Amino acid sequence: MNSNLMEILSREIIKSLPIEQREVYEYVVRLEDDLAQQAETSDEFMSLLVKHSPHRQAARHFNLTFGKLMALMREAETFINQQLERKLENVTWVDLTEQVLSREKDGKDNVKYFYFSVNEVLS
């Protein structure tokens, strides 16, 4: 599946989290992303994670115990993964590049055309 589509769907799911959970989740992810930007290798990233402990920083920031923060994060990640799986099961992804370019006189070689839809499953 296209990583851009996964990103779009994930952002939509994260927005649906309860406000406290969403704020905590986004805060931790932002800290982790900042560390990832600083790291040149995966080993360096792991070292930065240990050194800066984004989860502990978040626990202090939100005045939560480390255990409570970790439970909130696990719950959020479980919800996000479950919702993402449900959405991906209902995604229609069609590459229409050849059909579109065959109709155009100025066929753009570096352009791709896709149609996708997500059929929402009501729970």
Phi, psi of 122 (to 5 degrees): -80, 130
**Strand, coil or helix: 92:** strand
pLDDT digits (tens, 9 = 90+) for 50-105: 999 999 999 999 999 999 999 999 999 999 999 999 888 887 778 887 777 777 66
Determine the pLDDT at residue 109.
Answer: 65
Helix (H) or strand (E) holding 77: helix 66-89
How many Å apart are CA 58 and CA 21, to the nearest integer? 12
How many Å apart are CA 108 and CA 120, to the nearest integer? 33
Determine the pLDDT at residue 95.
Answer: 82
The ranges assigned to domains in the chain are: 3-89, 91-123
Name the residue with tokens 């050194």. 51
pLDDT digits (tens, 9 = 90+) for 7-56: 888 999 999 999 999 999 999 999 999 999 999 999 999 999 999 999 99
Is pLDDT of 114 > 70?
A: yes
pTM of the model: 0.76
Angle, helices 66-89 vs 3-15, to 10°: value is 120
